[in-house]
Every structure is written in C-alpha cells, then in structure tokens.
Amino acid sequence: MVDDPRERLVLALDVDDLVVALRLARRLRPWFSVAKVGLELFGAAGPETVSALTDEGYRVFLDLKLHDIPTTVSRATRVLGGLGVAFTTVHTQGGGAMVGAAVSGMAEGAAAAGAPTPCVLGVTVLTSDTDAAPETLASRSRLAAEAGCGGIVCAAPDLPITRRAAPGLLTVVPGIRPAGTSTDDQARASTPGAAIAAGADLLVIGRAVTAAEDPEAMAAAVAGEVASSMASAGG
C-alpha cells in the first residue's frame, strides 16, 4: 500500500442530498482519497453521484452490497460497471455463482464504457453483526478470492481470520471510530490506529468525521493517527 495516509482513508457520505455530500467532500478532500456512496445517497441522486464525486478528484466506492440471483446481479453490474467507480461491493452470502457474476458483469460494463475495471469487494459479515463465526468469515473470504474479487470488507477484529483465509486480497474495514466517539450501530468498531495495526488496507469512516463539531479537525486527527500507526508498522 501507498505510504500516504490519505490513500488509506475512505469518506462515507451517508447523507440523502448530493449538494450536502459534495459540500462535505470538498471540505474533507485534503484527508481522503476515496468517497463511499451507499444506498442512501445513491437512492437520492443515482448515478450522478459517481460523476460528481469523480469531478471532485475522488475515487468512488459504490457500496450497494448486491445480493440477488446471479442473472439479476450480472445485468445490474454491467450497468454499474460503466459508471467509472473504483470499488463496488457484493455480499458473499449470495454464493460463488452470484459473486462471480458480479465480478464478470462489472468488468464487462467497464470495458463497454471504456472505463477502468472496478475492484469488486466481497462483504463478509456486517459490522452490526455481534456473532460472526470464525468459520463463516473464513469460508466467505475464500469464496470472494475464488470468485475473482479484488478485496473483502470485514470488521477490524476479523482481520486475523480473513487475511489468513484469503491472503493477498485488499482489506477494507468499515466501523472506524476514533477513541471517545459514538459507535452508533457498529457492534464491532475499531479505532483507526488499531485497524491499521491489525492489517487493514483501507479504512471507511463517516459520521465520526462528517457529524463532528469540527469535521476538518477530526479528519486531521484521524489522518495523524493513521500516519502514526503506519510508521509503527513500518518500523
């Protein structure tokens, strides 16, 4: 991974208004390189969110956690693959055929649009799940690798299991909360430094920064913690 902390940080824009999302994206651009668009924002503004955030200089992480029959997922991803996103998610609970359909569909859609092939991330177990069985985490991580995913999404406490089960895949960790902030509905949250120390490649952080009294100061503190943890790991 790149040694710049900014390249490790994903800004989750969990809002229902593209104007608000762009205002946050512009304010926090110095500390984040990737912007995550989830169901709420995509439902509010649709594909325009991708082009608008790309124009702001972000790589876009489209987090829709696709989970349907393989044919439906294949058709949907052919459309989504042409939007120019850098990352997208599919839930591994849907099985190998479905995850494979997402990987091939995204590649086909990107190729048809002349866009870079997105990195498909297999979601293992949601961070709101308080009972993530180790065997489930391991089997879903292996499934993601076998189906052609470029990475997985997992909670920080799951990294020792998922990294052993699927070595070499990009690890994306949501549920990042600086010490002293609310965990909201994230049952298995982690601080930025602890997640980096555990082996996370990308950290997803949203409300802890976007809803902070001083978002810029919180973003700078998170980036500083990540930089410190990266330096310690490198040493």
The reported pTM is 0.94
Higher confidence at residue 232 or residue 142? 142
In terms of Cβ atoms closer than 10 Å to its own Cβ (0-12, 13-18, 19+), residue 179 is exposed
Closest CA to 137 of 152, 118, 117, 116: 152
Closest CA to 125 of 144, 145, 110, 140: 140
Any idea which residues carry the catalytic annotation?
65
pLDDT, tens digit (0-9, with 9 covering 90-100), for 149-198: 999 999 999 999 999 999 999 999 998 998 776 656 556 779 999 999 99
Topology of domain 5-234, per CATH?
TIM Barrel (3.20.20)
pLDDT, tens digit (0-9, with 9 covering 90-100), for 129-153: 777 789 999 999 999 999 999 999 9
Domain boundaries, the chain: 5-234
- Asked which of 82-96, 97-111, 161-175, 176-190 is least confident by mean pLDDT, the reply is 176-190
* Number of residues written out for the chain: 235
> Which 3 state secondary structure label does DSSP give 15?
coil
